[in-house]
Structure formats: structure tokens, C-alpha cells
Amino acid sequence: MMKIEIKDLTHVYDVEVLSQLNVTLENYRSVALIGISGSGKSTLLRILSGLEKPTRGEVFLNSQDVTEDEHRKSVGFVFQSHNLFPHLSLLKNITLILEKTRGYTPEAAKSQALKYLDMLQLSDQVHKLPRNVSGGQAQRASIARALSLNPDTIFLDEPTSALDPILTHEVLTAIKELRGLGKNFVFVTHVMSFVKDFADYVIFMQDGRIVEQGEPKQMLEQPKTKELQDFMEKVH
């Protein structure tokens, strides 16, 4: 279960892209960030995961300050496109990181990598290069790689935005099957059926602000704000 505390978070690039965000949530397992492109979802996800330091404000995940190095070790990140090393097999993509960054022996790294590749139903693809598997398989391998680092929390930023509808379905089904693992998930997606099935808390953003937040059924079926009502009409 996850606890997120965001206090007066503001983030500035050349302009302010997140403005005075406040979130307090506890005992949720899977949090969705939704909103139109440019609303600040990826920036918030990067800050929560520790990939980027906020300009102002405080952010805690499970009571840990996300700007501390220690936090980075407890999270995994899955990007829009798979970002696997192109010259390494799916298996090597995972074992290399486990050996280089986590001190695994080659044998232990292989067994850990195969465990998660198998979980993502890639047992028969492990020796292939990323370009020789489908986009959905490559993205599932990225998810296996993130999981193999034993994170408490997995962040996914539009993990299916580069995929066609069939592969999107395949990857989202695979993610849903991870529910029993006891991990926490924070994700950005435009697939509202997935939000409904998988999220237990939803944050709707617009123009760098949180406009509405709450549990998915209420948010998606009875949006309170005009902004979320308009958004729901556009995504359907």
C-alpha cells in the first residue's frame, strides 16, 4: 500500500508547469494520472519517482523524501517506448543492470531476470534482440526489467502510447496480472477502461494543476468539475 504526500509542489522549467499541487493519500495500491497532453502528468511522475527534483515544495512517498538517493532504489520506471539497449537480448538487458548496479552474480541475475520475463510471458523470447520482438513484447520486457530490481513502486508513463490497439490490450492485460505481486503502481494513461479496472485512485490534471482527485468510479462516472466532464467527453 502506498502513501503519497505532496505539499505545495511547484515546478518551473522556462515557465511554471506544476503550480501548487497538494495531495494526501494513503492505503491505495494503484494511482492513475490523467489529463490532456501538456497538463504536467509526466513531470509529476518524474518528480514522484525521483528522476527530477522539484523546484519548490515537499514530496514524500511512503514517508520518504523523494529527493533522497535512497528513494531511487525503491522505484522502477517504464517509459512510453521501451528504451531497451538495442544490441542486447531481452535477457541481457536485465542481467546487465542487475550485475552492474545491484551486485548480482551472473547466475543470480539470470535467475531473477528469467523469473520476471516468464511472469511477463516472454520465456520463449529471452534471447532475441529488442528489434526482433513486437512492440508489445519489448514493452513487457521493460516491465520485467523494472520489476527485476525489486522496487516497491512502479511508475509507468503512457506505457502503451506507442502501440496499436491489439498490443495495447496485450500489455495492459499483462500489467493487470501483476496486481497480486504486492507492488504499488503510479501510472499515466489515456486508456480510461484501464484506469477503471486497475486504478484505485485517480488524479486529474489540467494546466499544471490538480483539478479533481478521488476514486475511479466516482471520478469517471460522475465528474464534478466542468474540466473533467469535458475531458471525459473527449476521451470517449
Residue with grid cell 504499488, as numbered in its chain? 184
Among 30, 39, 95, 184, binds ligand ADP (CB under 6 A): 39
Q: Does 86 sit near ligand ADP (CB under 6 A)? A: no
41 binds ligand ADP (CB under 6 A): yes
Q: State the minimum distance, in angstroms, from the CB of residue 45 to Mg ion.
A: 8
Choose one: 35-43, 82-90, 165-173, 204-212; the region binding Mg ion (CB under 5 A).
Answer: 35-43
Given strand 64-65, what is the order of strands in its sheet? 16-28, 2-12, 56-61, 64-65
Q: What is the 3-state secondary structure (H, E, C) of 129-145?
A: CHHHCCHHHHHHHHHHH
CA dist., res. 78 & res. 160, Å (int): 10
Q: Which listed option, Mg ion, ligand ADP, none, makes contact with residue 40 (CB within 5 to 8 Å by class)? A: ligand ADP
Among 43, 142, 153, 206, binds ligand ADP (CB under 6 A): 43
Sign of the CA dihedral 90, 94, 99, 104? Answer: negative
Cα(141)–Cα(207) distance, rounded to whole angstroms? 33
Q: Residue 122 or residue 159: which is nearer to Mg ion going by CB?
A: 159
Which member of 30, 39, 42, 139 binds Mg ion (CB under 5 A)?
Answer: 42
> Nearer to ligand ADP by C-beta: 43 or 142?
43
Q: Taking phi first (over 0 means left), then psi (-120 to 50 degrees means alpha), and beta for anything else, what does residue 57 get? A: left
Q: Which of 27, 37, 131, 221 binds ligand ADP (CB under 6 A)?
A: 37
Position among 13, 70, 165, 236 found at the interface with ligand ADP (CB under 6 A): 13
Site membership for ligand ADP, residue 40 (CB under 6 A): yes
- Binding of ligand ADP at residue 12 (CB under 6 A)? no
Report how far residue 204's alpha carbon sits from residue 126's, in angstroms, rounded to the nearest whole number.
38
Q: Are strands 16-28 and 2-12 parallel, antiparallel or unpaired?
A: antiparallel
User: For residue 172, which of 148, 150, 192, 151 has the smallest C-alpha distance?
Assistant: 192
17 binds ligand ADP (CB under 6 A): yes
Q: What residues line the site for Mg ion (CB under 5 A)? A: 42
Q: What residues line the site for ligand ADP (CB under 6 A)? A: 13, 17, 35, 37-43
